[in-house]
Structure 1
Amino acid sequence: MNRRSKPLDGLKVVDFSAVFAGPICTRLLSDCGADVIKIEPPMGGDVIRGPFGRSRLFAHFNAGKRCVAIDLVHQEGQKLAHELIAEADVVVENYRPGIMAKFDLDYASLKDEFPALVYCSISGFGQAGPQVHRAAYAPIAHAASGFDYVHQLDQIDSEAPPPVWGIMVADMLTGSYAHGAILTALLGRERHGRGDYIDVTMLESMMMLIPSHIQFAQMENPPPAAGFRPILCKDGFVMVCIVSDKNLKCLAKTIGKSELADDERFQLGNRSRNQDAFFKEIEEFTTQYTVVEAERILNDGGVPCSRYNAPSDLFSHPQLTERRSFTEFEDDTSKFLVQNAPYLLRNVDISTTPTNPELGEHTTEIFGQSRDSNLLRSWRDQGIVGFPD
C-alpha cells in the first residue's frame, strides 16, 4: 500500500446522523480516507455544535467531514439529499424509525434505484418490533440492556440504586459496531456485487457487554461472578485484576505472602465467595504505598494493575504519547487535542484530520458547481439550505 493513500480513499459517505453514535461511526470512516458529507438542518445544525456553532466536542465527532446544511422538510431539500446519495457508497442515519421514510430517503425508497448502496440505520431499539418508536438515549439503553443492573450487582453495596453514567457508553459502542458492520457490508458488496441494509441498535450493543451474566441467567445454579473493586493505597486507589493462577502467584510473591498462592479460599472458583478476605490481604500491602508506587511495584511483579487516571493525565501518558493518540486542533481561543482512532495501521497514517467545519461550510462547494449562486442564495433565504456568508 502506498503510504500516502488511505484504505477508504474514494469511498463516499452521506451522513444524516447527529450527536454521538452515528457521528463517531462516520468519523472513523473519514479517518481512514472516506469522503464523508454530513447533512445538518440549516437552523442550528447538530445539537453538539453548541451555542457558538463549533464546539470542541463537535470537532471530536466530525473532524475531517464536509458539512452541508439542508432542510429535509422541503421537497427541494430532499432532492438535494437524493442527489448526494446517487453518488454515495454508504448512507448513515440515526433518526427515529420512520422519519427517513417521510422524506423518501429510507432504504426501501432507494434500494431499487441504488442496488449497490450500503445503508446503515442506528437506533435505540431497531427498525421493527413493539418498542420501535420509543425514544432512546444512552442512559435508556444502559438501563434497558441489563448493563446497569449487572453493574449494580457487582458493586460493594449491591443494595445501592443503579448507577448513573456520566459517559455515553451505548453511543460509542453502537457507533463502533456500526462502523464494523459497514465495512463488512462493503466487503460483501466487493465480493457479491450487492449493497445491504444494516439495522444496528443501542440495546443489543450494550447487551454484548454482559455475556457472562446473560449465560448465568439461564442456569439454575450459576457460578459467582468474578469480583473486582478499587484497592486502597496511601493516597487513593488502584485497580488490581487477578484472573489466572499465574496472576495469583505473581501477586503472592510481590506482596510477600507466598502462602496466598495455595490458599484454597483464593483459588479460581472460590475467590468470589471470599473476596472481602482476599482484598484485605492485598490492601495490607498497598496501603503502605502511594498509587504511583503501588502501580509500579505490582506491574513490575507481573500483577495487572493501574492507577485511576483523570482525563487530564492522558495528555502526558507515556504510552499514549508513544502511540500518537491525539491530533492537535486550534480554535478561536487556543489549541486543543482530539483523540485519534483507537488503532494504528502500519502502512498508513490514519490520524484524524484537524478540521472543525462550520455549519453549511461546504454547501456551495458541493452544490454550487452545477447551480447558479443566485439560486443557492434564494434557497438560503427560503431556509432550504444554509451556508456562511
Structure 2
Amino acid sequence: MLDLSRVLAGPWATQTLGDLGAEIIKIERPEVGDDTRGWGPPFLPGQDGERGDAAYYTCANRNKSSVTVDFTKPEGAALLTQIIPSCDVLVENFKTGGLAKYGLDYETVARLNPRIVYCSITGFGHTGPSAAKPGYDYLVQAAGGLMSVTGQADGTPGAEPLKVGVAVADLFTGLYATIAILAALRHAEATGQGQHIDMALMDCQAAVLANQAANFLVSGTVPGRLGNAHPNIAPYQVFPTADGHLVLAVGNDGQWQQFCAAAGLDVLAQDPRFASNAQRVANRDALIASLRPALLQDTTSGWMRRLEAAQVPCGPIQTIDQVFADPQVIARRMREDKARRDGTAIPLVANPIKMSLTPPVTRRAPPSLGEDTETELRQLLGLSDAQISGLRNRGII
C-alpha cells in the first residue's frame, strides 16, 4: 500500500490495514513529515535531548515504513510513478483534484496500474457543490448534525452544541475506508480490475447519525440535544450518586422491573406512567425527577454492587488513566509498548480486533521521519547509493 495520506482519517485506515498484515509505505514531506508529528504537546523524547514526535502522530502510524519524497517536484513524482505498478492500494486525502498536477490522480495512476485500488478521502467528496471545500473533523461534526444532538439541552446550565472529545468523523471515515478497500481488493483479485473509492467525511458523519437520522426520517421531527439522556430509551443516562456519577442503562422493561426491585422503588415499578419504555420516554421528566433523589442515597460503587447483582446494566464514568488501569482493559491487552529502531519506547493502544487465527500484530512502532527512505528505494526501485545521494542533495528525498 502506498499511503499519501496524513493527519487522521487516512492514516487510521492504513494503520488498521497494516495491523492486519498489509505492507504500508507512508510517503511524507522531507524534513517536515505528517502534520501530526508537530501536534503537541505532549511529545516523545528525542535524540540528544531534542523534542521528538508528538504523541498524536503515534496513534495512527504504527506498522508503516516512512519514506520522504517531495512529489511536488517532477523528479519526486516520477519516483512514485515507478513504485505504483507494484502497489495493490493507494490512499490519499488531498483536496479534490489536488494530485492531478503531479500525475498522481486516479485516472493517471490507473493507466500505470489498472488493478490498483485507489482510495480518496476528502471532507465532502469528489462530487456535489461542496466538493472543493476543505474538510476538517470539527467542521464536519458541526455541518453533519452531530453537534446539534450533542450537549446539554436548551434551557439547562451549559447548554450549547458540543463536539465529541475525539475526532469521530475522521475515525469513522477511516474505518469505512478500510471496509471499502477490503471489498475492492476482493473484486480486484477476482477480476484484475481496480477502482476508485471516493470517501467523504460528511457522508460518513451523516451515516453514523444512525437512530437519530432514522428518528427524523420517520417522524419529521428534528432531534435536539438531551445532554446525557437517550432519545429513544429511558432511563438511559447519567445520574449523580452520593460520591460521584453512575451511568444507568435500562434497555428493556424487564431490566426496569429488576432495577426498581434492586433500588427499593416498588412504587415506581407499579406506576402506569412508567410501565413500558415508550411510556417512560413520554414521561421522561417525571421519571428522572423521581429517580434522582433515590440514586443520591448510595455511592457509585454501592449502586454498582446492587445493580450488577440484579443484572441491571450500569457503570462508572472513568477517566482515561482509570481506563488503562481497568482490569478488563488490562486482561484484553489494550495497551502495548513498542520500541523504534533507535530504542525510543512508544506506548500504544492495541488494535481491538480479536481473531483466533490471524490476529492483528504490531510489527513495528510508528517510524521516525524518513527512516526507511533509502531501504525502500533500494528494494523497490533498485537505486544505487550514488542515485540516492543525488536525490537527497537535490532535496527530492
Aligned to 1:5: none
Q: Is the 1:71–1:77 Cα contact (8 Å) retained in structure 2? A: yes
Aligned to 1:289: 298
Does residue 1:48 correspond to 2:36, yes or no? yes
- Measured in 2, the distance between the counterparts of 1:306 and 1:320 equals 15
Correspondent of 1:323 among 332, 339, 343: 332
| SS, match of residue 60 in structure 2 | helix
Correspondent of 1:339 among 344, 349, 353: 349
The CA deviation at 1:99 is 1.0
Q: Is the 1:66–1:362 Cα contact (8 Å) retained in structure 2? A: yes
Q: What are the equivalent positions in structure 2 for 1:245-284 lying under 5 Å apart? A: 245-266=253-274, 267-284=276-293
Aligned to 1:241: 249
Aligned to 1:376: 388
Residue 36 of structure 1 aligns with an amino acid whose one-letter code is I
The CA deviation at 1:84 is 1.9
- Measured in 1, the distance between the counterparts of 2:344 and 2:258 equals 46
The CA deviation at 1:295 is 2.7
Which TM-score applies when normalising by structure 2? Answer: 0.87
The CA deviation at 1:190 is 2.7
CA displacement 1:96-129 (0-9 Å, x = unmatched): 1111112111111122332211111111100111
Residue 201 of structure 1 aligns with an amino acid whose one-letter code is A
Aligned to 1:299: 308
Gaps of at least 5 residues in structure 2 are: 41-50, 224-230
Q: Is the 2:5–2:92 Cα contact (8 Å) retained in structure 1? A: yes
CA displacement 1:210-267 (0-9 Å, x = unmatched): 2333233345565983264321112221211122112212211211223433433222
- Measured in 2, the distance between the counterparts of 1:373 and 1:114 equals 28
C-alpha RMSD over aligned residues? 2.4
Residue 381 of structure 1 aligns with an amino acid whose one-letter code is N
Would the alpha carbon gap of residues 188 and 247 (structure 1) be closer, same or farther in structure 2, given more than 3 Å must change?
A: farther
Would the alpha carbon gap of residues 290 and 150 (structure 1) be closer, same or farther in structure 2, given more than 3 Å must change?
A: same
Would the alpha carbon gap of residues 110 and 247 (structure 1) be closer, same or farther in structure 2, given more than 3 Å must change?
A: same
Residue 18 of structure 1 aligns with an amino acid whose one-letter code is R
Q: What are the equivalent positions in structure 2 for 1:139-288 lying under 5 Å apart? A: 139-152=138-151, 157=156, 160-219=159-218, 222=221, 225-226=231-232, 228-266=236-274, 267-288=276-297
Would the alpha carbon gap of residues 314 and 381 (structure 1) be closer, same or farther in structure 2, given more than 3 Å must change?
A: same
Q: Is the 2:152–2:160 Cα contact (8 Å) retained in structure 1? A: no
Q: Is the 1:17–1:95 Cα contact (8 Å) retained in structure 2? A: yes
Q: Is the 1:54–1:357 Cα contact (8 Å) retained in structure 2? A: no
Residue 383 of structure 2 aligns with an amino acid whose one-letter code is R
Correspondent of 2:24 among 28, 36, 59: 36
| SS, match of residue 189 in structure 1 | helix
| SS, match of residue 181 in structure 1 | helix
The CA deviation at 1:153 is 7.3
The CA deviation at 1:270 is 2.1
Q: What are the equivalent positions in structure 2 for 1:81-120 lying under 5 Å apart? A: 81-120=80-119
CA displacement 1:152-172 (0-9 Å, x = unmatched): 476783992211333211111
Gaps of at least 5 residues in structure 1 are: 1-12
Residue 342 of structure 1 aligns with an amino acid whose one-letter code is P
Aligned to 2:375: 365
Q: How many pairs were matched up?
A: 373
Aligned to 1:7: none
RCO higher in 1 or 2 (8 Å CA, sep ≥ 6)?
1
| SS, match of residue 279 in structure 1 | helix
- Measured in 1, the distance between the counterparts of 2:219 and 2:196 equals 39
Which TM-score applies when normalising by structure 1? Answer: 0.88
| SS, match of residue 329 in structure 1 | strand
